[in-house]
Homo-oligomer: A and B are copies of this chain.
């Protein structure tokens, strides 16, 4: 395969949505299953998820959160307890109505054993966990309760896209109860900050943090905060949310506690989650026309060794050299874990290098008799061009592997940050705003726009009109913007702050 060609067709600029599907196929991360809207996460994708899980789980536990597990099924009556919540989820939930199958009249199996109350497969667990909390919590001494669940959830989406929007996905959902509103809000923000750290330090994914407008809130929440990232098609991806639920779910589920003063009060609750959607974001933010690029800190493998085994040459010597190098690399500690090394000795020619490039391996190393003679290795960095592969002495490679990986991690982050900056504009007049979000004839219609920082008066009507006209939403009211006098981009009424407008996944 020549360097001028790309491994993925179509390329990003040719057809971005199709590129996304192809890059997932080429990396062997996941596939569409025959079950409508559900995906199969293949070993390379699942190992990435395991790394994300391990890192987040450690972060959660450091803040005192404990894991638990709650039922997959939720009785309809539970869902109905919180009016906005049921409104938000009733339209897209899998409903279990029977508990067995029997031979039907035409010989095939049909549902039998009808349930007296249908159950839905959890789309989220506020109501079923709230029910447990109402039994666990009696007194202020029982608070705070800090629980997390790693689980699968189901939302019957009409249009699905692998990792980004699937009927079933894997996630964590944290649920906490506090004695005061203040403490609950602090927890909401603490978890959001942790998501930001996960995104930026591990996934190399720069994110904006902020608050959602009322129309974009989690159904039943008083405040929804989020992290938002810009993908390479300049659309926004909501990569994690943390909700301050006030006393809404506590009232719905009867989570009451006796205070130190012996009065009875409702608890203040939060919930927060990230999902396998993060993997979709990772692919879309770093991938190139040769495949995925994985940030070293979460990559299932960080280095692949590719011994060149020519017939007639000293194959065994090359393999020994390779294994010895792998062993030395695995003794290096990279951010507290051994460097993750794979050896690929398949005899499939040049396709082998490209398999690993498509998979996004951070560092790929060829080892042949010539390299051995010079006591060196020939390596490529996935964040750099294939042509830039270079030789390095073996000892230096082992000594510097941590630095190389860190350098890749940083370069991915800064490339994504530059890209976001490049496509973020302060826009103050409606014509420019409309033009920003309308593809020019010369552009691929799927790639245009970006983040518009514009003033908004706070009216849901203005927000709604923009959404209907341009399919652009307010991604967040950013935490870091300072007050500034301005006029609403839509209606011209006074505004004190810019918000982030974008098209979104």
Contact = CB atoms under 8 A, between A and B. Distances in A.
Residue picked from A35, A50, A98, A119, most chain B C-beta under 10 Å: A35
A111 interface: yes
Interface stretch (A12-20, A74-82, A384-392): A74-82
Contacts of A151: 152
A483 interface: no
B66 A43 contact: yes
A160 B68 CA distance: 20
B99 A156 contact: yes
Interface stretch (A84-92, A186-194, A224-232): A84-92
B119 A76 contact: no
Interface in A15-62: 31, 33-35, 38-43, 46-47, 49-50
Contacts of A50: 67
Given A86-B109, A93-B99, A94-B96, A73 B43 contact: no
A101 B87 CA distance: 10
A108 interface: yes
Contacts of A73: 35, 38, 94, 168
Contact of A98 (B34, B43, B86, B97): B97
A41 B69 CA distance: 5
B128 A33 contact: yes
Contacts of A72: 38, 121, 152, 154, 168
A203 interface: no
Contact of A70 (B40, B76, B97): B40
Number of copies: 2
Contacts of A76: 101, 108-109
Contact of A69 (B40, B94, B109): B40
A100 interface: yes
A334 to B, nearest CB: 19
A170 interface: yes
A55 B91 CA distance: 41
Interface in A89-135: 90-102, 108-111, 113, 118-121, 128, 131-132, 135
A147 interface: yes
A142 to B, nearest CB: 11
A71 interface: yes
A131 B34 contact: yes
B46 A69 contact: yes
Contact of A108 (B38, B78, B80): B80
A108 to B, nearest CB: 7
